Chain A
Amino acid sequence: MTARKSLLKVILLGDGGVGKSSIMNRYVTNKFDAHLFHTIGVEFLNKTLEVDGNQVTLQIWDTAGQERFRSLRTPFYRGSDCCLLTFSVDDNQSFLNLSNWKKEFIYYADVKEPENFPFVVLGNKVDVTERQVSSEEARLWCQENGDYPYFETSAKDATNVAVAFEEAVHRALAADDKADHLIPTDTVKLHRKPRSATACCS
């Protein structure tokens, strides 16, 4: 038994077709399927990682990007530890929609302090030659919206996918620690492991 075992919920949001499911599959199974059907509602996969000597189960939630699936996906935002806002570098509209995705997440996940919540931005499909969103544009948006880390990924050729998830894990753990520090030191921690408790009920 390691000193700290926890479950981290990471959620992928973004327009339909930007490659959220492919990113998840690439990271967890290291496979790429060019003919995936639209995700309906939500899906998730677990991956166990070792971070700073701690066992962490990363639960990656993949969501449906299409508007018509909104009512199916939004109930599952709650409880996320990190949100991966995803767009496709060959689709400018998906980039412009990032703000909407952020808003939707903050609203439905009921985030108490949106400015401190760990978001990570992914620009997927960098293997495509005809880009519509430049690297600079994306970085600028990230800087202006809360200094989010930005990764240019390709699920197809596995570029930066693992790095992006590792960063998400670190951000989530850091935010977690920060929240722990906010607790006054003279209180008794009755809920030392809240996440593993909820996992039992799933």
Chain B
Amino acid sequence: MTSTACDCPAFLKCDAQSLRSVEGSTPRILSKCIFSLEEETHDRPLRITYGWAHAAGLKEVRGEGDPTRNGICYFYPEETPLDKQDLLCGQLAGVGRCVSELSSSSVQTLRLRRCKFAIRMKEDFFWALGCSMEVPSDSVCELLDHLINLFCFYNGSVRQSYQLNSKESLAAEWARYLFHVLSGPSELHYILRSLRTIDLTNVDPLLLLKAALILQACQRCPLVLAGCVLFRGRAVSTQMPPQLTMKVMVHESKTYTKTQRLSEASPPSSDGGPVSSTAVFLTPSELQYLQAAPVDKTSRSHSTQEKDAPPKKTRLSRTLSDTPSSESEPSHPVSRQSPQKLSFSPHLSGSEDSVFSPVPSQSTADSPNPSPVSPVRPFSNGGNSHETVEKTLDESHYHSFHSSGDEVSQIHNEADGSVFEENLYLNGGGLGGDATCETSFEVRGADCGNDLLRDDQMAAGEVEVSCSKVRGHKAETKWPPPVSCAVDSLEESPLIPMMLYMHRVNSLVLALLVEPRFMSDTASMEEVNHSSLASLNGLEAHLRAISPAAPGAAGPYLFAHYDSIQSTLTTNVSGRPGGAPEHPFVRATSLLHSHFFDTETLQEAIIRSAGTAVYGTRTVAHETYFQQHGGSVRNSGIPNQQDSAFSLPSKARHRLLKHRVNLL
């Protein structure tokens, strides 16, 4: 299969034998982390299933004849036979290394027949996460980055974690993060990675203000960096960037299920509430972000070293909508560190790798032992529907409107069945593809082993690899900067140990990122507790009293509105079982999102079949997708002014206003 997703395509052919030899010739790949996608099932087009294998500290694999399996640290599904794990890991690692050496750029994604793998390689670690072809490449890459970042957030550097802990215990960690990532309410959440927030339709905005004020009150204690308020596993208010909030929520979901079980035994008490804490690790950029946000330090308590924190510009609120101003003073990460607190400076260990090197030798005397991580607790309410029927858009026509607006480039795609697979290769092929510098490779293996994922599919292994350099300008357009992308954790900088403090009041949780010594500072803990307890009790009572919005009929339309700055998704796609009519919409959204990601100048597009059409539009901050049900789509197959698809933009503008989505 050819690829047009790059300016300079290159092709690579090798058979299974050569793949093996490639792998054998790369002794520097000591460890591997492979997520592979289990074979795609047809009841759910975008279902993501994984295999993740992680091979760390793999000295045994250095030699030519050493089995790959010794280096596999984690592979999902865990029951996969070792031979299969071996084969897949060997191939992916070999091809990945080979291609990155040939192209002098890191491999981002890799295609193996019907699967698409996001690849991350760093020193002697190798990760792969596979999913079906329909998931946009950037989404699967983000998913993999998110998993790695989650691991580092709770465990610190990968290398040290594997030095200190057994493979088995860390496998449980990986499984836990995978499960959390997979527990999204709908397939849309894989495509548009979003923070799960409370349903705002019935919530008085004053309650959001209340939550924000609780967080502000906690920040009066100088040891508190930032926090968020969560209700039933969803964010109410946060002072942290969305990516960091997502990480915090993983721990919350664990304690939530635990508390639910406990609350059956004893009635909940609202005095004190269960307070817990766990050790976490921030990247330098995360820390810088948190410290750069101006806090009203003049009102901070005088109990602890206030002089360490130079007063900065005050700001009334640091709620979700509050973005840091560019003219805020540069932060000094070291400035607030008291001498006894951190015994390293970012510059000293700057040459060390953040994720993979041991944690900076910080004195642990002033921080209590982190609570041991308990085994995976399945997130109970994250059901995935498996009973839906795949529907494909039989015939699709792709219209894209460039920013100029006048020109309409129309691409007819009369593929039968695999429309999306075809359309993926439209990316960049004339649609402003120069916006990204991506290289794609295709590898055809005459016979890459027997039964990789599915015997018949994999008999003639076909691999496509795409490499891309860092999309510099892509990152620039994001605001606030994505503080916890993969680049973050893979770049060379140490991780900074912090504590995650959680105060639960029934279904409500106050989560605070605090300096490690906060946990041993009774006065500070008391101060935070006193300033927040009554308000938390009240907020919990308010939120509990809100009747959940009636699910209701889906209405005559489907929509998804994604805020890429706050990472929030507003949609009426339920993701519930029996939501078969939603699948074409989800698939179209997936495709459009992919196009938007690859084509910087693309602002509006309509994708259609004979029966329906989906409209997509995006700005720097938002992506919106809309599909109108019912009504006959007049479609003659040629451009036609009477075509009802062309009225979609105005319909979307009109319909979405009541969802507080303004497309004007």
Chain A positions within 8 Å of B, measured between CB atoms, are 21, 24-25, 29, 31, 33, 35, 37, 39-48, 62, 69, 71-72, 75-76, 199-200, 202
Does residue B209 face the partner (Cβ distance < 8 Å to A)?
yes
B210 at the interface (CB under 8 A from A): yes
Q: Which residue of A lies closest to B535 (CB)?
A: A43
Known: A72-B206, A76-B541, A202-B506. A46 touches B530 (CB 8 A): no
Say if the beta carbon of B533 comes within 8 Å of chain A.
Answer: yes
- Tell me if B12 counts as interface (CB < 8 A to partner A): no
Q: Which of B210, B217, B545 has the most CB of A within 10 A?
A: B210
Between A and B, 21 residue pairs with Cβ closer than 8 Å are A33-B531, A37-B213, A39-B538, A40-B209, A41-B204, A41-B538, A41-B539, A41-B542, A42-B541, A42-B542, A43-B535, A44-B270, A45-B534, A45-B537, A46-B270, A46-B271, A47-B271, A48-B271, A62-B534, A62-B538, A69-B206
- Within 8 Å CB of B41, what residues of A? none
CB interface residues, B 400-433, toward A, < 8 Å: none
- B555 contacts chain A at the CB level, 8 A cutoff: no
**Beta-carbon contact of A40 and B545 below 8 Å:** no
CA distance A39 to B535 in the complex (A): 8
Which B residues between 257 and 277 are near A, CB-CB below 8 angstroms? 267-271
B580 in the interface, Cβ–Cβ < 8 Å? no
B616 to chain A, nearest CB (A): 38
Asked if B299 is at the interface of the complex by the 8 Å CB criterion, the answer is: yes
Asked whether B537 lies within 8 Å of A44 as measured between CB atoms, the reply is yes
Q: CB-CB < 8 A to B269: which residues of A?
A: 46
What residues of chain A lie closer than 8 Å to B299, measured between beta carbons?
35
Judge whether B342 is part of the interface by a CB distance below 8 angstroms. no
A22 → chain B closest CB, angstroms = 11
Give the distance in Å from the alpha carbon of A21 to the alpha carbon of B530 in the complex.
12
B207: Cβ under 8 A from any A Cβ: yes
- Return the contact of A25 from the options B207, B210, B270, B534 (Cβ within 8 A): B534
Q: Which residues of B contact A75 (CB under 8 A)?
A: 545
Query: Please, which residues of chain A bring their CB within 8 A of the CB of B209?
Result: 40
**Cross-chain contact A44 with B534 (CB below 8 angstroms):** yes
Task: Write out the residue numbers on chain A whose beta carbons fall within 8 Å of the beta carbon of B210.
Answer: 40-41
A-facing residues in B528-564 (Cβ within 8 Å): 530-531, 533-535, 537-539, 541-542, 545
Contact yes or no, A43 B534, CB < 8 A: yes
Nearest 3 Cβ contacts at the A-B interface: A43-B538, A43-B534, A46-B271
B263 and chain A: residue at smallest CB distance: A200
Q: What's the nearest-Cβ distance from chain A to residue B505, in Å?
A: 10
CB pair B213–A72 under 8 Å, yes or no, is: no
User: From A197, which residue of chain B is reached at the shortest CB distance?
Assistant: B267
Using CB atoms, name the residue of chain A closest to B537. Answer: A44
Among B267, B537, B538, B542, contact of A199 (Cβ-Cβ < 8 Å): B267
Q: How far is the CB of B299 from chain A (nearest CB, A)?
A: 7
Given A29-B530, A35-B299, A202-B506, A44–B541 Cβ distance below 8 Å? yes
Given the complex, which residues of B lie within 8 Å of A43, measured CB to CB? 534-535, 537-538
Report the bound CA distance from A60 to B161 in whole Å. 47
Closest chain A residue, CB of each to CB of B209: A40
Chain B residues close to A by CB (< 8 Å): 204, 206-207, 209-210, 213, 217, 267-271, 299, 506, 530-531, 533-535, 537-539, 541-542, 545
The CA-CA distance from A41 to B541 in the complex, in Å, is: 10
Question: Which applies to chain A's interface (DSSP): helix, strand, loop or mixed?
Answer: mixed
7 additional A-B residue pairs with CB within 8 Å, beyond A48-B271, A72-B542, A200-B267: A37-B217, A40-B213, A44-B534, A44-B537, A45-B537, A46-B269, A71-B204
Residues of A within 8 Å of B530, CB to CB, are: 25, 29, 31
Query: Max chain B CB contacts within 10 Å: which of A31, A40, A71?
Result: A40
Q: Which residue of B lies closest to A31 (CB)?
A: B530
Q: Which residue of B lies closest to A37 (CB)?
A: B213
B residues less than 8 Å from A42 (CB atoms): 538, 541-542
Assembly CA distance A47 to B213 (angstroms): 24
Cβ-defined contact, B213 with A24, below 8 A = no
With a CB–CB cut-off of 8 A, which chain B residues contact A35?
299
A193 to chain B, nearest CB (A): 12
Rounded to whole Å, the gap between the CB of A199 and the closest CB of chain B is 6
Task: Give the complex CA separation of A37 and B210 in angstroms.
Answer: 10
Q: Are B545 and A44 touching (Cβ within 8 A)?
A: no
Nearest B residue (CB) for A30 = B530
| B206–A45 touching, CB < 8 Å | no
Q: Which residue of A lies closest to B271 (CB)?
A: A46
Asked if B206 and A41 sit within 8 Å, CB to CB, the answer is: yes
Chain B residue contacts of A39, Cβ below 8 A: 538
What's the Cα separation between A202 and B206 when bound, in Å? 22
Q: Given the complex, which residues of B lie within 8 Å of A45, measured CB to CB? A: 271, 533-534, 537
Chain B residues near A199 (CB-CB < 8 A): 267
> In whole Å, how far is A109's beta carbon from the nearest beta carbon of chain B?
15
Give bound CA distance, A46 to B537, whole Å: 10
A150 to B607, CA, bound (A): 73
Q: Are B268 and A202 in contact (CB under 8 A)?
A: yes
Closest to B545 in A: A75
With a CB–CB cut-off of 8 A, which chain A residues contact B207?
40-41, 72
- Rounded to whole angstroms, the CA-CA distance of A75 and B534 in the bound complex is 17
Which of chain A's residues have a CB closer than 8 A to the CB of B538?
39, 41-44, 62
Instruction: Tell me which of A43, A47, A199 has the highest count of chain B C-beta atoms within 10 A of its own C-beta.
Output: A43
A35 and B220 alpha carbons, distance in the complex (Å): 12
Smallest beta-carbon distance B83→chain A, Å: 55
Q: Report chain A residues within 8 Å CB of B535.
A: 43
A81 to chain B, nearest CB (A): 17
Min Cβ gap A146→B in Å is 29
Contact of A202 among B204, B270, B271, B533 (CB under 8 A): B270
Bound-state CA distance A199–B538 (Å) is: 15
Task: Tell me, in angstroms, the Cα distance from A41 to B536 when the chains sit together.
Answer: 12
What is the CA–CA distance of A40 and B209 in the complex, to the nearest angstrom? 8
Q: How far is A24 from B538 in the complex, measured between Cα atoms in Å?
A: 13
In the complex, the chain B residue whose C-beta lies closest to that of A47 is: B271
Hey, which chain A residues are within 8 Å of B533, CB to CB? 45
Most buried by A among B213, B270, B506, B539: B270
Question: Which chain A residues lie closer than 8 Å to B541 at the CB level?
Answer: 42, 44, 76
* CA gap between A114 and B631 in the complex, in Å: 60
CA of A35 to CA of B217, assembled, Å: 11
Bound: A21/B533 CA distance, A:
12
Q: Please report the C-alpha to C-alpha distance between residue A35 and residue B296 in the assembled complex, in whole angstroms.
A: 13
A200 to B538, CA, bound (A): 17
Whole-angstrom distance between the alpha carbons of A31 and B209 in the complex?
24
CB-nearest residue of chain A relative to B530?
A: A29
Q: Which of A31, A35, A41, A47 has most chain B Cβ within 10 Å?
A: A41
In the complex, the chain A residue whose C-beta lies closest to that of B267 is: A200
Closest-by-CB residue of A relative to B266 is: A200
| Bound CA–CA A37/B220 (angstroms) | 13
A residues less than 8 Å from B545 (CB atoms): 75
